[in-house]
Amino acid sequence: MRFLGINAIFHDPAAALVADGRIVAAAEEERFSRRKHGKRPLAFSAWELPEQAAAWCLREAGLAPEDVDAVAYSYDPSLVVRRPEGDWEDLRTRYAVRAPLFLATALPGLDPAQVTYVPHHVAHAASAGLASPWRDCAVLVCDGRGENVSHLAGRYRDGELEVLAAQELPHSLGLMYEDVTEHLGFLRSSDEYKVMAMASYGRPRHLEALREVIRPTGDGGFRVEPVDWNVYAKALPKGAPWTSDHADLAASVQARLEEVLLELARWLHERTGERRLALAGGVALNCVANTRLLEETPFTEVWVQPAAGDSGTALGGALHLAQAYGEPAAPMGTAALGRDFTDDELGAWLDVARVPYTRPADLAAEIAAELAANRIVAWFQGRSEYGPRALGHRSLLAHPGHAANTERLNDVKGREQFRPVAPMVLESRARDVFGRGPVPSPYMLFVHDVRPEWAARVPAVVHVDGTARVQTVSPDGEPLVARLLTEFERRTGLPVLVNTSLNTAGRPMVDDPRDALECFGSAPVEVLVLGPYVVRRREVFGS
């Protein structure tokens, strides 16, 4: 059977396809439209569907819309507490009610009756529990909001979800974090990771005050009272310089978020006795909190959906329907679920662009030499990643041994200098360089402490607090990247590479060859690797 999942209602519209017991494809609309996050999370944008992502998922599976057995729409308007006429949220609900008709228009041949509403947090839960390596586990979902709740705690037993707690709106940890994001001059529902990065520069000196207004209730839920953030730091206009007051506010909010999540996870463990925990929802992209959940709760294993934000509900909805129809899909073994291109297609793009290129006999060795010479490399390989992390398919790579490369990469990408860049490391070498945090960690969703004897050797990947957001690489899963790491260590003695997303500020990650060539042409990157082909800036531009 074939199940198409659709996320559209809030932000990060996406589509995913599960067929014949496996995850075939998943992609975010932003990678096609080139509009960051696909759209803004406004009620009057709820009609915007992931039309290009959905059409691509069907093509990838060789299907027409009429071949789909069921469509999951990851929002159930019947659960919404209706508001007065004219309210913007009522408009969102009206769009959701008509979503089957919108989808049938976007995908001609689709029967609107095939569309099933899957509650938003159930779709999130399925994206974690059903995609994880386990059939039985606890599941914790935390985000801004769904239809009428902002959180779900439960467990999966043999693929069936039991909901144990759900927090009703308006109380929301995710919306609270969004409020702080906006207060600090960033874009809400987009830049929350910047608050997490800024927190490392501050002291949580407002923690006691925040404990009074953000608190667990002891029954698996929590309360978030209205907060006047100006009491702690004045609101920052977008792009304005931040001060220690703003960093202290970020640190305080981050610390309180972690404390509440720990309480929620401990309650869930007490209720379930499970030793495995699966996480989803936008808050699950907070890798600092994830590490504390692993280190400081009774759970011995934690798995986080790589597309933990709303885009992941497309996959979760499809998995939920597959389970309901008695055809559960295999666990998610990779985040590389997006588009890929043949060598011939990539070569044709380079020919059209009229740029000189080579096809080296040993790509890993040649690029390792470029990286050892401290050149920045744009790396485009295989299927694009599903979710916000670059995992060696659409990446910018650099030498970790030069502290200046952090600033250099932030300049290349046009982003704030307080932002860290991440390391990738062979799974077999990870414990030599990094402590605390899980190994393996293939999706870059936890922080690890950098061992003191290594901090001075790989300064570009060490955040101000001594941590790094690590991606471990397995030769079985990523043989080319593993060889690149091996060749780089042979030349430099360093088993680590800097890995950050292949994009510039405000733009989605590169997805197709045109995107890669445009990024290479506009950003000061010395080398572009497009599949087996290598393009050098000095050969294109003469410098």
| pLDDT at site 83 | 65
| pLDDT at site 198 | 97
pLDDT in tens, 333-380: 999 999 999 999 999 999 999 999 999 999 999 999 999 999 999 999
The bridge status of strand 70-73 relative to strand 2-7 is parallel
Total-model pTM:
0.96
User: What does the mean pLDDT of the chain come to?
Assistant: 96
pLDDT in tens, 388-428: 999 999 999 999 999 999 999 999 999 999 999 999 999 99
Q: How far apart (Å, rounded) are the C-alpha atoms in residues 140 and 364?
A: 40
Domains of the chain: 2-120+311-325 (3.30.420.40), 132-304 (3.30.420.40), 343-541 (3.90.870.20)
Q: How far apart (Å, rounded) are the C-alpha atoms in residues 70 and 361?
A: 46
Triad 52, 55, 58: Cα angle to 5°: 150
pLDDT in tens, 436-487: 999 999 999 999 999 999 999 999 999 999 999 999 999 999 999 999 999 9
Active site residues: 11
The closest of 294, 296, 283, 218 to 253, measured between CA atoms, is 283
H-state helical runs in 385-512 = 404-413, 430-433, 452-455, 479-492
| pLDDT at site 539 | 81
Q: How far apart (Å, rounded) are the C-alpha atoms in residues 494 and 397?
A: 14
pLDDT in tens, 207-247: 999 999 999 999 999 999 999 999 999 999 988 999 999 99
pLDDT in tens, 108-158: 999 999 999 999 999 999 999 999 999 999 999 999 999 999 999 999 999
CB-based contact 539:528 (threshold 8 Å): no
